């Protein structure tokens, strides 16, 4: 609890048995009131370890729903238990829980609605072992998105994020992908809705046990990011109406065949 605000950490987990305990034990209490872990049909001992640690809320998917699908469950549960601020923390120990306070304070003090732990501010990314091709792709995609979204962020691809409750209640998250591009769609939605977004420098770790998508999944993610950015710009220009940027009823309006084919082409 901080200034009367309930702080909840959500952990979207998949095969995190090697890193879950180390991540969980670094979460600062009593700043964090409750922790939610959603296991996406892991094939290892993630659930067993979560119960052993005494995590307050543990949800096990009966089938693998994907990274985005996992987060949807996380946020629904966080809102259900009355969270005022929700922090999404990967249980793979890639991002340090010691930065939770830095993410939460600006939201509680009404400076920002969304806070990001950026690996690019400072020298955290390459120093922490980020593969060079991922660093270059990150910089390229961020450059393109800053132009198309008419915003300025150090990076759009961090998995360390905190949200004011109102953000999660406003964004049409159920319309988003169940895959890795969910993160990017969510951030684009927050910008579209006019929420205030802040960043703090965040060290990161790349090691064998940390989760990471392979090269071809990275390519697919990058194409998804470009699609999100183009659709965002078309919606801003009133040339397209997409469910992920429709905050009223989620209806899709296709003005011409080119725009109708765009999501499949990218």
Where does the pLDDT of residue 259 fall: very low under 50, low under 70, confident under 90, or very high at 90 and above? very low
pLDDT digit string, tens, across residues 17-70: 999 999 999 999 989 999 999 999 999 999 999 999 999 999 999 999 999 999
Contacts of 90 (CB under 8 A, 6+ apart): 11, 12, 23, 159, 160, 211
pLDDT at position 209 is 58
Worst-scoring range by mean pLDDT, 130-139, 149-158, 253-262?
A: 253-262
What does the mean pLDDT of the chain come to? 89
**What strands, in cross-sheet order, belong to the sheet with 197-201?**
57-60, 34-39, 7-13, 85-88, 161-164, 114-118, 197-201
Worst-scoring range by mean pLDDT, 6-15, 133-142, 249-258?
A: 249-258
pLDDT digit string, tens, across residues 167-194: 999 999 999 999 999 999 999 999 999 9
pLDDT digit string, tens, across residues 92-118: 999 999 999 999 999 999 999 999 999
Worst-scoring range by mean pLDDT, 115-119, 243-247, 256-260?
A: 256-260
Q: Which CATH architecture has domain 7-236?
A: Alpha-Beta Complex (3.90)
Contacts of 88 (CB under 8 A, 6+ apart): 9, 10, 11, 12, 71, 74, 159, 160, 161, 162, 163
Worst-scoring range by mean pLDDT, 47-61, 75-89, 147-161, 192-206?
A: 192-206
- Whole-prediction pTM: 0.88
């Amino acid at each position: 609890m901080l200034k009367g605000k309930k702080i909840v950490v959500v952990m979207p987990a998949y095969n995190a048995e090697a890193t879950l305990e180390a991540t969980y034990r670094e979460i600062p209490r009593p700043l964090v009131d409750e922790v939610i872990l959603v296991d996406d049909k892991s094939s290892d001992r993630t659930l067993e370890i979560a119960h052993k640690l005494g995590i307050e809320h543990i949800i096990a998917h009966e089938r693998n729903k994907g990274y985005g699908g996992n987060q949807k469950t996380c946020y629904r549960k966080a809102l259900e238990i009355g969270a005022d601020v929700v922090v999404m923390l990967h249980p793979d120990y890639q991002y340090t829980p010691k930065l939770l306070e830095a993410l939460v304070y600006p939201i509680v003090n009404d400076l920002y609605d969304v806070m990001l732990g950026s690996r690019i501010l400072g020298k955290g990314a390459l120093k922490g072992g980020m593969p060079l091709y991922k660093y270059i792709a990150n910089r390229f995609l961020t450059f393109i998105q800053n132009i198309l979204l008419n915003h300025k962020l150090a990076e759009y691809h961090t998995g360390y994020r905190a949200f004011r409750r109102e953000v999660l209640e406003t964004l049409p998250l159920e319309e988003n992908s169940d895959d890795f591009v969910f993160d990017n769609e969510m951030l684009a939605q927050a910008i579209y809705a006019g929420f205030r977004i802040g960043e703090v420098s965040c060290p990161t770790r790349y090691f064998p046990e940390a989760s990471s998508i392979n090269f071809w999944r990275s390519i697919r993610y990058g194409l998804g990011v470009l699609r999100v950015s183009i659709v965002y710009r078309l919606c801003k220009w009133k040339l397209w109406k997409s469910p992920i940027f429709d905050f009223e009823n989620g209806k899709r309006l296709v003005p011409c065949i080119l725009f109708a084919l765009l999501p499949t082409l990218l």
